[in-house]
Amino acid sequence: MAESRLQRWSRKKAEVSKKADPTPSVPVENEPSPEAQELAINEALPESEVLEKYGLPEPDTIELGTDITGFMRKEIPELLRRKALRALWKSNPVLAVLDGLNDYDEDFTEAAHAGEVVKTLYKVGQGMFDKAAKRAEQAEELTEAQVGLAESVEPPSVIESAEPEKTIEPSRPNRQPEPDAAEEEPAPIYRPRMRFE
């Protein structure tokens, strides 16, 4: 009888597991990497010996165009790397002169050096305006309208006193005129329906 696909897969899997080592070698996690070991050795050596060991130029003699990729290796001590970068930055006037326009030059994490709290008239969703000034402006407009109405109304004469008095309402600038009942509503706009076949 022929072997099915699943049976063949199971058999091959069992053969591979028999061939594999039962105890694979596990690297020790606490052991430092070779670069870290070399770095520890190089930190104990004087700078001149480290430079000679890796064939690097003296950091003070670095000029524009000098290759400093050797200083970027993990085995080179941090102090030596910084000296090389500092010399490179001094050699290039573009890198050496700071214009003071960089936003990240200052430390904004210290609250002691930060300025006072900024007060603004900007309101989210409403824009730039001052509520008190807007209310004062509206009150001035209302009083001007009331003074204008009071001046335009003449005192009633003796002849007119027989007629009933009419009250005058102040006009509201934002009031929309009421639609007359006699006006007809506009005819609805014809919108053809879309047909999908």
- Beta strands 127-128 and 122-123 are antiparallel
> How confident is the model over 162-185, as a mean pLDDT?
58
Residue 174 pLDDT greater than 90, yes or no = no
Alpha helix locations (H) across 21-178?
34-44, 47-54, 78-91, 93-96, 131-152
- Per-residue model confidence (pLDDT) at position 72: 93
CA–CA distance, 182 with 61 (Å, rounded to integer): 98
pLDDT tens digits, 116-172? 677 777 778 877 777 777 788 888 888 887 877 666 655 555 454 455 555 565 555
Domain ranges of the chain: 34-96, 118-150
Burial class (CB in 10 A: 0-12, 13-18, 19+), 31: exposed
Residues in the chain: 197
Give the CA dihedral 36, 37, 41, 44, nearest 10 degrees: 50
CA–CA distance, 39 with 33 (Å, rounded to integer): 10
CA–CA distance, 32 with 74 (Å, rounded to integer): 13
Strand partners of residue 128: 122
Selection from 80-89, 124-133, 174-183 with the highest mean pLDDT:
80-89
DSSP annotation string for 7-44: HHHHHHHHHHHHHS-SS-----SSSPPHHHHHHHHHHH
- Per-residue model confidence (pLDDT) at position 30: 79
CA distances from 192 to 90, 185, 187, 189 (A): 75, 21, 15, 10
CA distances from 197 to 30, 87, 192, 194 (A): 72, 76, 16, 10
| Other CB atoms within 10 A of residue 87 CB | 19
pTM assigned to the model: 0.38
- Per-residue model confidence (pLDDT) at position 1: 65
In this structure, what are the phi and psi dihedrals at residue 11, rounded to the nearest 5 degrees? -65, -45
